[in-house]
Amino acid sequence: MTAALKVVAPGMHATVQDLGRFGYQAFGVPVSGALDATGHRLANRIAGNDDGAPTLEILFQGPTLEVIADSVRVGVAGGDAEIEVMGDRPRSLGGWRSVLLRRNQMFRVSRLSNVACCYLAVEGGFAVERCLGSASTYARGGFGGLDGRALRAGDLLPLAREQASDRAELGLAEPPPSGRDQPIRLVLGPQQDYFTEAALEALVSHEFTVSKHSDRMGMRLDGPTLAHRDGYNIVSDGIATGAIQVPGSGQPILLLADHQTTGGYPKIATVISADIPVVGRRKPGDAIRFTAVDVAEAERLRREAEVDFQAVVARLAPVRSAGDLDASRLFESNLISGVVFDDA
Amino acid sequence: MIVEFGDRIDRAVSDQVLGLAARVRAADIAGVIEVVPTFRSLMVHYDPLRTRSAELIGAIETLLTSKTALDRKRRLWRVPVCYESDFAPDLADVAKQTRLTPEQVAALHAGTRYHVYMVGFVPGYPYMGDLPEALILPRRADPRIRVPPGSVAIATTMTAIYPLESPGGWHLIGTTPIRIFDERISPPALFAPGDAVEFEAIDRDAFARIRSAAERREYRPASTELAA
Protein backbone atom coordinates (compact mmCIF):
# COMPACT_ATOMS: atom_id res chain seq x y z
CA MET A 1 0.00 0.00 0.00
CA THR A 2 1.24 3.46 -0.85
CA ALA A 3 2.42 5.51 2.10
CA ALA A 4 0.07 8.39 2.86
CA LEU A 5 -1.48 10.63 5.44
CA LYS A 6 -5.21 10.07 5.52
CA VAL A 7 -7.34 13.16 6.06
CA VAL A 8 -9.72 12.42 8.92
CA ALA A 9 -10.90 16.03 9.20
CA PRO A 10 -9.78 18.62 6.64
CA GLY A 11 -9.38 21.71 8.82
CA MET A 12 -10.38 25.08 7.43
CA HIS A 13 -8.28 25.40 4.28
CA ALA A 14 -5.22 23.22 3.89
CA THR A 15 -3.44 23.07 0.53
CA VAL A 16 -0.21 21.57 -0.74
CA GLN A 17 2.23 24.37 -1.58
CA ASP A 18 5.88 24.82 -2.49
CA LEU A 19 7.95 27.86 -3.45
CA GLY A 20 5.71 28.62 -6.42
CA ARG A 21 5.07 27.99 -10.09
CA PHE A 22 7.41 30.16 -12.09
CA GLY A 23 7.77 30.66 -15.84
CA TYR A 24 4.09 30.74 -16.83
CA GLN A 25 2.94 34.21 -15.82
CA ALA A 26 3.13 35.27 -19.47
CA PHE A 27 0.33 32.71 -20.01
CA GLY A 28 -1.73 34.14 -17.17
CA VAL A 29 -0.79 31.43 -14.66
CA PRO A 30 -0.37 32.82 -11.11
CA VAL A 31 2.75 31.90 -9.16
CA SER A 32 0.89 30.53 -6.10
CA GLY A 33 3.14 28.86 -3.50
CA ALA A 34 3.34 29.38 0.25
CA LEU A 35 1.87 32.62 1.66
CA ASP A 36 4.68 32.53 4.21
CA ALA A 37 7.67 31.10 2.35
CA THR A 38 9.81 31.41 5.48
CA GLY A 39 7.45 29.16 7.44
CA HIS A 40 7.33 26.71 4.54
CA ARG A 41 11.13 26.57 4.30
CA LEU A 42 11.57 26.15 8.06
CA ALA A 43 9.03 23.31 8.21
CA ASN A 44 11.03 21.60 5.47
CA ARG A 45 14.36 22.11 7.25
CA ILE A 46 12.86 20.77 10.49
CA ALA A 47 11.65 17.66 8.64
CA GLY A 48 15.03 17.27 6.93
CA ASN A 49 14.06 18.44 3.44
CA ASP A 50 15.24 20.97 0.89
CA ASP A 51 13.36 24.28 0.82
CA GLY A 52 11.39 23.33 -2.28
CA ALA A 53 9.74 20.13 -1.02
CA PRO A 54 5.93 20.36 -1.04
CA THR A 55 4.41 21.10 2.39
CA LEU A 56 0.87 21.46 3.63
CA GLU A 57 -0.16 25.07 4.15
CA ILE A 58 -2.68 25.26 6.96
CA LEU A 59 -4.93 28.29 7.41
CA PHE A 60 -6.37 28.96 10.88
CA GLN A 61 -7.51 25.44 11.80
CA GLY A 62 -5.39 22.39 11.13
CA PRO A 63 -6.53 19.06 9.75
CA THR A 64 -6.62 15.75 11.64
CA LEU A 65 -4.48 13.17 9.90
CA GLU A 66 -3.88 9.43 10.25
CA VAL A 67 -0.56 7.79 9.41
CA ILE A 68 -0.89 5.18 6.65
CA ALA A 69 2.81 4.28 6.48
CA ASP A 70 5.29 2.35 8.62
CA SER A 71 6.35 5.65 10.12
CA VAL A 72 6.54 9.28 9.14
CA ARG A 73 8.50 12.23 10.42
CA VAL A 74 6.50 15.45 10.40
CA GLY A 75 7.67 18.96 11.13
CA VAL A 76 5.51 21.95 11.90
CA ALA A 77 6.46 25.63 11.70
CA GLY A 78 4.37 28.73 12.22
CA GLY A 79 3.03 30.84 15.07
CA ASP A 80 1.66 28.85 17.99
CA ALA A 81 0.88 25.74 15.95
CA GLU A 82 1.49 22.53 17.86
CA ILE A 83 1.37 18.89 16.91
CA GLU A 84 -1.24 17.09 18.98
CA VAL A 85 -1.08 13.32 19.02
CA MET A 86 -4.47 11.76 19.59
CA GLY A 87 -5.51 8.39 20.91
CA ASP A 88 -5.62 6.98 24.44
CA ARG A 89 -3.21 9.54 25.82
CA PRO A 90 -3.73 12.66 23.73
CA ARG A 91 -1.05 15.24 24.23
CA SER A 92 0.57 18.20 22.61
CA LEU A 93 4.18 17.87 21.51
CA GLY A 94 4.69 21.55 20.80
CA GLY A 95 5.56 23.29 17.57
CA TRP A 96 8.67 24.30 15.59
CA ARG A 97 9.95 20.74 15.79
CA SER A 98 9.80 17.35 14.15
CA VAL A 99 7.95 14.36 15.54
CA LEU A 100 8.10 10.72 14.56
CA LEU A 101 4.74 9.03 14.16
CA ARG A 102 3.87 5.42 13.51
CA ARG A 103 1.27 3.57 11.49
CA ASN A 104 -2.34 4.26 12.47
CA GLN A 105 -1.43 7.09 14.81
CA MET A 106 -3.70 10.08 14.50
CA PHE A 107 -2.53 13.62 15.00
CA ARG A 108 -3.66 17.12 14.33
CA VAL A 109 -2.23 20.59 14.08
CA SER A 110 -3.70 22.83 16.78
CA ARG A 111 -5.82 25.86 16.02
CA LEU A 112 -3.75 28.94 15.24
CA SER A 113 -4.35 31.98 17.37
CA ASN A 114 -1.59 34.46 16.59
CA VAL A 115 -0.98 33.92 12.85
CA ALA A 116 -3.04 33.02 9.78
CA CYS A 117 -0.97 30.11 8.52
CA CYS A 118 1.49 27.40 9.44
CA TYR A 119 3.23 24.64 7.53
CA LEU A 120 3.34 20.90 7.99
CA ALA A 121 6.23 19.18 6.25
CA VAL A 122 6.86 15.45 6.05
CA GLU A 123 10.34 14.01 5.70
CA GLY A 124 10.84 13.34 1.98
CA GLY A 125 7.91 15.57 1.04
CA PHE A 126 4.41 14.88 -0.24
CA ALA A 127 4.47 12.86 -3.44
CA VAL A 128 1.93 14.89 -5.41
CA GLU A 129 2.28 15.20 -9.16
CA ARG A 130 3.98 18.39 -10.35
CA CYS A 131 1.84 20.59 -12.55
CA LEU A 132 3.80 23.01 -14.76
CA GLY A 133 6.86 22.33 -12.64
CA SER A 134 5.30 22.96 -9.23
CA ALA A 135 3.34 21.13 -6.54
CA SER A 136 1.54 24.34 -5.50
CA THR A 137 -2.24 24.26 -5.40
CA TYR A 138 -4.02 26.97 -7.39
CA ALA A 139 -7.58 26.33 -6.23
CA ARG A 140 -9.26 28.92 -8.47
CA GLY A 141 -7.80 27.28 -11.54
CA GLY A 142 -8.36 23.81 -10.12
CA PHE A 143 -4.83 22.58 -10.64
CA GLY A 144 -1.68 21.69 -8.72
CA GLY A 145 -1.36 20.06 -5.31
CA LEU A 146 -3.91 17.37 -4.52
CA ASP A 147 -6.54 17.50 -7.31
CA GLY A 148 -6.20 21.28 -7.53
CA ARG A 149 -8.09 21.97 -4.31
CA ALA A 150 -7.98 22.18 -0.52
CA LEU A 151 -8.03 18.95 1.48
CA ARG A 152 -11.27 17.09 2.06
CA ALA A 153 -12.10 14.34 4.55
CA GLY A 154 -11.07 10.98 3.18
CA ASP A 155 -8.24 12.31 0.99
CA LEU A 156 -4.96 10.43 0.96
CA LEU A 157 -1.93 12.69 0.90
CA PRO A 158 0.78 10.55 -0.70
CA LEU A 159 4.19 10.42 1.01
CA ALA A 160 7.46 10.11 -0.88
CA ARG A 161 8.93 7.88 1.87
CA GLU A 162 7.53 4.62 3.23
CA GLN A 163 9.19 5.21 6.58
CA ALA A 164 11.13 7.85 8.46
CA SER A 165 14.93 7.87 8.53
CA ASP A 166 16.81 7.04 11.70
CA ARG A 167 17.80 10.34 13.21
CA ALA A 168 17.14 12.63 16.15
CA GLU A 169 14.19 14.98 16.08
CA LEU A 170 15.04 18.60 15.31
CA GLY A 171 13.50 21.72 16.71
CA LEU A 172 13.94 25.35 17.56
CA ALA A 173 14.17 26.11 21.28
CA GLU A 174 13.02 29.62 20.51
CA PRO A 175 10.71 30.28 17.54
CA PRO A 176 11.70 33.07 15.15
CA PRO A 177 9.77 36.35 15.57
CA SER A 178 6.43 36.41 13.77
CA GLY A 179 6.89 40.09 12.94
CA ARG A 180 3.37 40.69 14.14
CA ASP A 181 3.98 44.29 15.21
CA GLN A 182 6.60 45.07 12.61
CA PRO A 183 5.85 47.87 10.13
CA ILE A 184 5.55 46.54 6.60
CA ARG A 185 8.02 48.08 4.19
CA LEU A 186 6.89 49.06 0.70
CA VAL A 187 8.22 50.74 -2.40
CA LEU A 188 5.87 53.34 -3.87
CA GLY A 189 4.49 52.70 -7.36
CA PRO A 190 4.31 51.71 -10.10
CA GLN A 191 1.24 53.98 -10.38
CA GLN A 192 1.63 56.29 -7.37
CA ASP A 193 1.00 59.30 -9.67
CA TYR A 194 -2.63 58.13 -10.00
CA PHE A 195 -3.24 59.06 -6.35
CA THR A 196 -3.72 62.27 -4.44
CA GLU A 197 -1.01 63.55 -2.08
CA ALA A 198 -3.43 62.85 0.77
CA ALA A 199 -3.76 59.20 -0.31
CA LEU A 200 0.02 58.74 -0.46
CA GLU A 201 0.32 60.34 2.96
CA ALA A 202 -2.48 58.20 4.43
CA LEU A 203 -0.85 55.02 3.15
CA VAL A 204 2.24 55.48 5.31
CA SER A 205 0.75 57.37 8.26
CA HIS A 206 -2.49 55.53 9.05
CA GLU A 207 -3.11 52.08 10.42
CA PHE A 208 -4.94 49.54 8.27
CA THR A 209 -6.69 46.37 9.39
CA VAL A 210 -6.69 43.04 7.55
CA SER A 211 -10.29 42.52 6.39
CA LYS A 212 -12.06 39.20 6.80
CA HIS A 213 -12.61 39.37 3.04
CA SER A 214 -9.12 38.09 2.40
CA ASP A 215 -7.86 34.93 0.78
CA ARG A 216 -4.76 33.52 -0.90
CA MET A 217 -5.31 35.88 -3.83
CA GLY A 218 -5.45 39.12 -1.93
CA MET A 219 -5.81 40.77 1.42
CA ARG A 220 -8.35 43.57 1.61
CA LEU A 221 -7.31 46.35 3.94
CA ASP A 222 -9.81 48.34 5.98
CA GLY A 223 -8.73 51.85 6.81
CA PRO A 224 -8.59 55.23 5.17
CA THR A 225 -9.93 55.47 1.61
CA LEU A 226 -7.13 56.09 -0.87
CA ALA A 227 -8.47 58.59 -3.39
CA HIS A 228 -7.44 58.57 -7.05
CA ARG A 229 -6.44 61.81 -8.70
CA ASP A 230 -8.65 61.21 -11.72
CA GLY A 231 -9.98 57.82 -12.72
CA TYR A 232 -9.04 54.39 -11.60
CA ASN A 233 -8.77 52.50 -14.85
CA ILE A 234 -5.35 51.96 -16.32
CA VAL A 235 -4.38 49.96 -19.38
CA SER A 236 -3.62 46.56 -17.79
CA ASP A 237 -0.05 45.86 -16.85
CA GLY A 238 1.88 43.24 -14.92
CA ILE A 239 1.49 42.59 -11.19
CA ALA A 240 4.15 41.62 -8.68
CA THR A 241 3.32 39.76 -5.46
CA GLY A 242 2.87 42.40 -2.77
CA ALA A 243 1.36 44.99 -5.12
CA ILE A 244 -1.28 47.14 -3.43
CA GLN A 245 -3.99 47.82 -6.00
CA VAL A 246 -6.73 50.31 -5.37
CA PRO A 247 -10.04 49.84 -7.22
CA GLY A 248 -12.70 52.55 -7.50
CA SER A 249 -13.87 52.06 -3.90
CA GLY A 250 -10.51 53.39 -2.66
CA GLN A 251 -10.09 50.33 -0.42
CA PRO A 252 -6.66 48.84 -1.07
CA ILE A 253 -6.10 45.16 -1.84
CA LEU A 254 -2.67 43.70 -1.08
CA LEU A 255 -2.06 40.97 -3.66
CA LEU A 256 -0.74 37.66 -2.38
CA ALA A 257 0.44 34.31 -3.77
CA ASP A 258 -2.57 33.47 -5.99
CA HIS A 259 -2.87 36.98 -7.47
CA GLN A 260 -3.71 37.42 -11.13
CA THR A 261 -0.70 38.10 -13.36
CA THR A 262 -2.06 41.33 -14.89
CA GLY A 263 -4.59 43.92 -13.83
CA GLY A 264 -6.25 47.17 -14.70
CA TYR A 265 -6.36 49.00 -11.36
CA PRO A 266 -3.63 51.43 -10.34
CA LYS A 267 -1.09 50.07 -7.87
CA ILE A 268 -0.10 52.66 -5.32
CA ALA A 269 2.81 50.66 -3.89
CA THR A 270 4.41 47.23 -3.65
CA VAL A 271 5.36 45.45 -0.41
CA ILE A 272 9.03 44.48 -0.48
CA SER A 273 9.83 40.80 -0.98
CA ALA A 274 11.48 40.51 2.47
CA ASP A 275 8.14 41.37 4.09
CA ILE A 276 5.85 39.17 1.95
CA PRO A 277 6.11 36.24 4.43
CA VAL A 278 5.42 38.65 7.32
CA VAL A 279 2.28 39.94 5.61
CA GLY A 280 1.30 36.40 4.57
CA ARG A 281 0.94 35.34 8.19
CA ARG A 282 -1.20 38.31 9.28
CA LYS A 283 -4.79 37.34 9.94
CA PRO A 284 -8.10 39.17 9.66
CA GLY A 285 -8.33 41.80 12.38
CA ASP A 286 -4.56 42.32 12.58
CA ALA A 287 -3.23 45.84 12.21
CA ILE A 288 -0.88 46.83 9.39
CA ARG A 289 1.28 49.92 9.24
CA PHE A 290 3.33 50.73 6.18
CA THR A 291 6.60 52.55 5.79
CA ALA A 292 8.24 53.48 2.46
CA VAL A 293 11.75 52.51 1.38
CA ASP A 294 13.55 52.78 -1.97
CA VAL A 295 14.40 49.87 -4.28
CA ALA A 296 18.05 49.61 -3.20
CA GLU A 297 17.00 49.44 0.45
CA ALA A 298 14.32 46.85 -0.40
CA GLU A 299 16.95 44.66 -2.05
CA ARG A 300 19.31 45.08 0.91
CA LEU A 301 16.51 44.12 3.33
CA ARG A 302 15.82 41.00 1.27
CA ARG A 303 19.46 39.92 1.53
CA GLU A 304 19.36 40.65 5.25
CA ALA A 305 16.19 38.55 5.64
CA GLU A 306 17.99 35.67 3.95
CA VAL A 307 20.90 35.99 6.40
CA ASP A 308 18.37 35.96 9.26
CA PHE A 309 16.75 32.84 7.81
CA GLN A 310 20.09 31.03 7.64
CA ALA A 311 20.79 32.04 11.26
CA VAL A 312 17.48 30.46 12.34
CA VAL A 313 18.33 27.29 10.40
CA ALA A 314 21.70 27.19 12.19
CA ARG A 315 19.85 27.15 15.53
CA LEU A 316 18.00 23.95 14.68
CA ALA A 317 19.06 21.41 17.27
CA PRO A 318 18.06 17.95 18.49
CA VAL A 319 14.96 18.10 20.64
CA ARG A 320 15.61 16.82 24.15
CA SER A 321 13.03 16.03 26.77
CA ALA A 322 13.34 16.38 30.55
CA GLY A 323 16.33 14.54 31.98
CA ASP A 324 18.22 15.23 28.79
CA LEU A 325 16.88 12.10 27.15
CA ASP A 326 16.06 12.19 23.51
CA ALA A 327 12.51 10.98 23.77
CA SER A 328 12.12 10.37 20.09
CA ARG A 329 15.19 8.13 20.09
CA LEU A 330 13.71 6.04 22.85
CA PHE A 331 10.48 5.90 20.98
CA GLU A 332 12.16 4.90 17.79
CA SER A 333 14.21 2.20 19.54
CA ASN A 334 11.07 0.76 21.10
CA LEU A 335 12.63 0.99 24.56
CA ILE A 336 9.35 2.32 25.74
CA SER A 337 5.96 2.01 24.21
CA GLY A 338 3.47 4.60 23.22
CA VAL A 339 3.97 8.28 23.07
CA VAL A 340 6.43 9.42 25.68
CA PHE A 341 7.19 13.01 24.85
CA ASP A 342 6.90 15.62 27.49
CA ASP A 343 5.17 18.85 26.74
CA ALA A 344 8.52 20.58 26.60
CA MET B 1 10.75 45.92 -12.61
CA ILE B 2 8.53 47.36 -15.31
CA VAL B 3 9.68 48.71 -18.66
CA GLU B 4 6.97 51.03 -19.96
CA PHE B 5 6.62 51.84 -23.65
CA GLY B 6 3.41 53.85 -23.58
CA ASP B 7 0.12 54.31 -21.83
CA ARG B 8 -2.35 53.07 -24.42
CA ILE B 9 -3.27 50.05 -26.50
CA ASP B 10 -1.33 50.30 -29.73
CA ARG B 11 0.15 47.75 -32.13
CA ALA B 12 3.47 49.58 -32.41
CA VAL B 13 3.79 49.70 -28.61
CA SER B 14 2.89 46.01 -28.40
CA ASP B 15 5.57 45.14 -30.96
CA GLN B 16 8.17 46.99 -28.86
CA VAL B 17 7.03 45.17 -25.70
CA LEU B 18 7.12 41.76 -27.40
CA GLY B 19 10.46 42.54 -29.02
CA LEU B 20 12.05 43.32 -25.67
CA ALA B 21 10.42 40.24 -24.10
CA ALA B 22 12.06 38.06 -26.73
CA ARG B 23 15.43 39.76 -26.25
CA VAL B 24 15.34 39.44 -22.46
CA ARG B 25 14.41 35.75 -22.72
CA ALA B 26 17.17 35.11 -25.26
CA ALA B 27 19.75 37.00 -23.18
CA ASP B 28 19.08 34.69 -20.22
CA ILE B 29 20.17 37.37 -17.73
CA ALA B 30 21.26 36.03 -14.33
CA GLY B 31 18.57 36.58 -11.69
CA VAL B 32 15.72 37.18 -14.13
CA ILE B 33 12.91 34.77 -13.19
CA GLU B 34 10.47 35.50 -15.99
CA VAL B 35 9.03 38.29 -18.10
CA VAL B 36 5.36 39.16 -18.63
CA PRO B 37 4.46 41.22 -21.69
CA THR B 38 1.35 43.40 -21.37
CA PHE B 39 -0.34 45.95 -23.64
CA ARG B 40 2.08 48.71 -22.88
CA SER B 41 4.88 47.41 -20.71
CA LEU B 42 7.14 44.50 -19.94
CA MET B 43 7.14 43.20 -16.38
CA VAL B 44 10.51 41.70 -15.45
CA HIS B 45 10.36 39.51 -12.34
CA TYR B 46 13.79 39.12 -10.77
CA ASP B 47 15.36 37.49 -7.74
CA PRO B 48 16.93 40.17 -5.50
CA LEU B 49 19.22 37.51 -4.04
CA ARG B 50 20.78 36.96 -7.47
CA THR B 51 20.83 40.42 -9.04
CA ARG B 52 20.10 44.06 -8.31
CA SER B 53 17.85 46.49 -10.11
CA ALA B 54 20.81 48.76 -10.87
CA GLU B 55 22.54 45.93 -12.76
CA LEU B 56 19.34 44.83 -14.42
CA ILE B 57 18.57 48.31 -15.72
CA GLY B 58 21.96 48.37 -17.42
CA ALA B 59 21.45 44.96 -19.02
CA ILE B 60 17.96 45.85 -20.26
CA GLU B 61 19.03 49.24 -21.62
CA THR B 62 21.61 47.44 -23.73
CA LEU B 63 18.91 45.12 -25.06
CA LEU B 64 16.59 48.06 -25.81
CA THR B 65 19.12 49.56 -28.21
CA SER B 66 20.21 46.22 -29.65
CA LYS B 67 19.72 45.90 -33.39
CA THR B 68 20.28 42.17 -33.71
CA ALA B 69 17.59 40.32 -35.59
CA LEU B 70 15.20 38.27 -33.54
CA ASP B 71 13.83 34.87 -34.24
CA ARG B 72 10.37 35.44 -32.86
CA LYS B 73 8.18 32.45 -33.52
CA ARG B 74 4.62 33.60 -34.09
CA ARG B 75 1.69 31.49 -35.12
CA LEU B 76 -1.58 32.22 -36.91
CA TRP B 77 -4.41 30.20 -35.38
CA ARG B 78 -7.78 29.42 -36.98
CA VAL B 79 -10.36 29.07 -34.24
CA PRO B 80 -13.80 27.57 -34.92
CA VAL B 81 -16.71 29.48 -33.36
CA CYS B 82 -20.41 28.74 -33.28
CA TYR B 83 -22.35 32.01 -33.46
CA GLU B 84 -25.81 30.36 -33.36
CA SER B 85 -28.11 32.07 -30.88
CA ASP B 86 -28.00 29.48 -28.09
CA PHE B 87 -24.18 29.60 -28.23
CA ALA B 88 -24.19 33.41 -28.18
CA PRO B 89 -26.26 34.82 -25.30
CA ASP B 90 -25.41 38.47 -26.03
CA LEU B 91 -25.31 38.40 -29.85
CA ALA B 92 -28.84 39.78 -30.33
CA ASP B 93 -28.17 42.55 -27.82
CA VAL B 94 -24.83 43.44 -29.44
CA ALA B 95 -26.59 43.53 -32.84
CA LYS B 96 -29.19 45.90 -31.46
CA GLN B 97 -26.60 48.19 -29.89
CA THR B 98 -24.44 48.28 -33.01
CA ARG B 99 -27.46 48.53 -35.37
CA LEU B 100 -26.36 45.46 -37.27
CA THR B 101 -27.95 42.06 -37.75
CA PRO B 102 -26.56 39.13 -35.69
CA GLU B 103 -25.24 37.69 -38.97
CA GLN B 104 -23.40 40.93 -39.73
CA VAL B 105 -21.86 41.00 -36.24
CA ALA B 106 -20.66 37.39 -36.64
CA ALA B 107 -19.33 38.09 -40.13
CA LEU B 108 -17.44 41.18 -38.98
CA HIS B 109 -16.02 39.34 -35.96
CA ALA B 110 -14.93 36.35 -38.04
CA GLY B 111 -13.65 38.51 -40.89
CA THR B 112 -10.81 40.13 -38.94
CA ARG B 113 -7.33 38.91 -38.04
CA TYR B 114 -6.51 39.65 -34.40
CA HIS B 115 -3.24 40.21 -32.61
CA VAL B 116 -2.74 38.59 -29.18
CA TYR B 117 -1.55 41.56 -27.12
CA MET B 118 -1.24 39.71 -23.83
CA VAL B 119 -2.49 36.79 -21.76
CA GLY B 120 -3.77 37.53 -18.27
CA PHE B 121 -6.80 38.02 -15.99
CA VAL B 122 -7.21 34.24 -15.62
CA PRO B 123 -4.88 31.48 -16.89
CA GLY B 124 -4.83 31.45 -20.68
CA TYR B 125 -7.15 34.46 -21.23
CA PRO B 126 -6.01 36.11 -24.49
CA TYR B 127 -6.58 39.84 -25.03
CA MET B 128 -6.94 40.09 -28.82
CA GLY B 129 -7.47 43.14 -31.00
CA ASP B 130 -8.40 45.20 -32.63
CA LEU B 131 -12.11 44.79 -33.28
CA PRO B 132 -13.66 46.40 -36.34
CA GLU B 133 -14.87 49.89 -35.40
CA ALA B 134 -18.54 48.87 -35.77
CA LEU B 135 -18.26 46.31 -32.95
CA ILE B 136 -16.70 48.54 -30.28
CA LEU B 137 -18.92 48.65 -27.17
CA PRO B 138 -18.27 49.30 -23.49
CA ARG B 139 -18.35 46.33 -21.07
CA ARG B 140 -21.72 45.06 -19.87
CA ALA B 141 -23.30 47.09 -17.09
CA ASP B 142 -23.94 43.92 -15.07
CA PRO B 143 -21.02 41.49 -15.19
CA ARG B 144 -21.82 37.78 -15.04
CA ILE B 145 -20.70 35.78 -12.03
CA ARG B 146 -20.14 32.69 -14.18
CA VAL B 147 -19.10 32.69 -17.81
CA PRO B 148 -18.75 29.18 -19.28
CA PRO B 149 -15.37 28.15 -20.70
CA GLY B 150 -15.08 28.56 -24.47
CA SER B 151 -17.22 31.72 -24.53
CA VAL B 152 -16.06 34.12 -27.22
CA ALA B 153 -16.48 37.67 -26.02
CA ILE B 154 -16.02 41.29 -27.04
CA ALA B 155 -15.64 44.56 -25.11
CA THR B 156 -14.02 47.88 -26.01
CA THR B 157 -11.55 47.23 -28.84
CA MET B 158 -10.83 43.67 -27.72
CA THR B 159 -12.07 40.14 -28.22
CA ALA B 160 -11.23 37.18 -25.98
CA ILE B 161 -12.04 33.57 -25.19
CA TYR B 162 -12.80 32.50 -21.61
CA PRO B 163 -10.47 29.54 -20.95
CA LEU B 164 -12.02 28.50 -17.62
CA GLU B 165 -15.32 29.22 -15.94
CA SER B 166 -14.87 32.63 -14.38
CA PRO B 167 -16.68 35.90 -13.72
CA GLY B 168 -16.82 38.21 -16.72
CA GLY B 169 -18.23 41.49 -17.93
CA TRP B 170 -17.74 41.11 -21.68
CA HIS B 171 -20.46 40.49 -24.30
CA LEU B 172 -20.69 36.81 -25.23
CA ILE B 173 -21.18 36.53 -29.00
CA GLY B 174 -20.25 32.90 -29.64
CA THR B 175 -18.66 29.75 -28.25
CA THR B 176 -15.63 27.84 -29.41
CA PRO B 177 -15.53 24.08 -28.88
CA ILE B 178 -11.75 24.07 -28.50
CA ARG B 179 -9.74 24.07 -25.30
CA ILE B 180 -7.39 27.06 -25.09
CA PHE B 181 -5.86 26.27 -21.69
CA ASP B 182 -4.58 22.91 -20.50
CA GLU B 183 -2.39 22.81 -17.42
CA ARG B 184 -1.23 19.31 -18.36
CA ILE B 185 0.87 20.59 -21.24
CA SER B 186 3.64 23.17 -21.43
CA PRO B 187 3.09 25.89 -22.43
CA PRO B 188 -0.42 25.56 -21.02
CA ALA B 189 -2.04 28.31 -23.09
CA LEU B 190 -2.73 27.74 -26.78
CA PHE B 191 -1.94 31.32 -27.76
CA ALA B 192 1.19 33.23 -26.86
CA PRO B 193 1.42 37.03 -26.85
CA GLY B 194 2.29 38.07 -30.40
CA ASP B 195 0.34 35.26 -32.10
CA ALA B 196 -2.43 36.03 -34.60
CA VAL B 197 -5.95 34.59 -34.42
CA GLU B 198 -8.75 34.29 -36.97
CA PHE B 199 -12.23 32.97 -36.21
CA GLU B 200 -14.17 30.68 -38.47
CA ALA B 201 -17.95 30.27 -38.17
CA ILE B 202 -19.13 26.69 -37.66
CA ASP B 203 -22.58 25.16 -37.19
CA ARG B 204 -23.84 23.25 -34.17
CA ASP B 205 -23.02 19.84 -35.67
CA ALA B 206 -19.39 20.78 -36.22
CA PHE B 207 -19.34 22.28 -32.71
CA ALA B 208 -20.50 19.00 -31.15
CA ARG B 209 -17.98 16.98 -33.18
CA ILE B 210 -15.02 19.24 -32.33
CA ARG B 211 -15.94 19.61 -28.66
CA SER B 212 -16.12 15.86 -28.22
CA ALA B 213 -12.65 15.49 -29.79
CA ALA B 214 -11.30 18.43 -27.74
CA GLU B 215 -12.56 16.85 -24.53
CA ARG B 216 -10.60 13.71 -25.41
CA ARG B 217 -7.61 16.03 -26.06
CA GLU B 218 -7.64 14.84 -29.67
CA TYR B 219 -8.28 18.17 -31.37
CA ARG B 220 -5.88 20.97 -32.00
CA PRO B 221 -6.93 23.88 -34.21
CA ALA B 222 -5.12 24.57 -37.47
CA SER B 223 -2.18 26.94 -37.26
CA THR B 224 0.63 28.16 -39.46
CA GLU B 225 3.89 29.83 -38.63
CA LEU B 226 4.14 33.53 -39.44
CA ALA B 227 7.24 35.41 -40.44
CA ALA B 228 8.55 37.55 -37.59
- Condensed to tens digits (0 to 9), the pLDDT of residues A184-224 reads 999 999 999 999 999 999 999 999 999 999 999 999 999 99
Give the ranges where chain B is alpha helix by DSSP (H): 11-27, 53-65, 91-98, 102-110, 204-215
Nearest CB among A24, A237, A263 relative to B188 is that of A24
Rounded to an integer, what distance in angstroms lies between the CA atom of residue A170 and that of residue A300? 30
From chain A, pick out residues whose CB is under 8 angstroms from the CB of B128. Answer: none
Signed CA dihedral, A119, A125, A130, A133: sign only: positive
Same domain for B199 and B122? yes
Residues B17 and B104 in one domain: no
Domain boundary, last residue among B11, B39, B65: B65
Distance from CA of A197 to the nearest CA of B (A): 22
If one counts the domains in chain B, the total is: 2
Last residue of a domain, one of B65, B95, B116: B65
Residue B51 CB partners (closer than 8 Å, separation 6+): B29, B30, B31, B32
**Going from the N-terminus, what domains does chain A have, and what CATH number goes with each?**
4-172+316-332 (no CATH), 184-307 (2.40.100.10)
The answer to whether the CB atoms of B119 and A27 lie below 8 A apart is yes
Residue B34 sits in which domain range?
A: 2-65
Q: Which of A23, A190, A302 sits opposite B48 (nearest CB)?
A: A302
User: Is residue B50 domain-shared with residue B94, that is, in the same domain?
Assistant: no
The DSSP bridge pattern shows strands B158-161 and A13-17 to be unpaired
- Last residue within a domain, chosen from B32, B65, B98: B65
Provide the CB-side half-sphere exposure for A234 (13 A, CA): 29
Q: Cα distance from A261 to chain B (closest Cα, Å)?
A: 6
CATH code of the domain in which B102 resides: 2.40.100.10
- SS3 of residue B30 by DSSP: coil
pLDDT per residue over B139-188, tens digit each?
Answer: 998 889 999 999 999 999 999 999 999 999 999 999 999 999 999 999 99
Looking at beta carbons, which residues of chain B come within 8 Å of A25?
A: 34, 36, 43, 45
SS3 A175: coil
Nearest CA-CA distance, residue B72 and chain A, Å: 15
Instruction: Give chain B positions within 8 Å (CB) of A306.
Output: 49
Q: Are residues B153 and B222 in the same domain?
A: yes
Instruction: Please indicate, yes or no, whether residues B61 and B79 belong to a single structural domain of this protein.
Output: no
At A233, is the pLDDT very low, low, confident or very high (cuts 50, 70, 90)? confident
List pLDDT tens digits, range B101-134: 999 999 999 999 999 999 998 999 999 999 999 9
What per-residue confidence (pLDDT) applies to B228?
Answer: 59
Q: What is the pLDDT of residue B112?
A: 97
> What DSSP letter does each residue of A248-264 carry, written as one string?
TT---EEE-TT--SEES
ipTM above 0.90, yes or no: yes
Task: Give residue-wise pLDDT tens across range A300-331.
Answer: 999 999 999 999 999 999 997 533 334 444 44
Q: Does A27 touch chain B (CB under 8 A)?
A: yes
The reply to whether B48 and B156 lie within a common domain is no
Residue type, A222: D
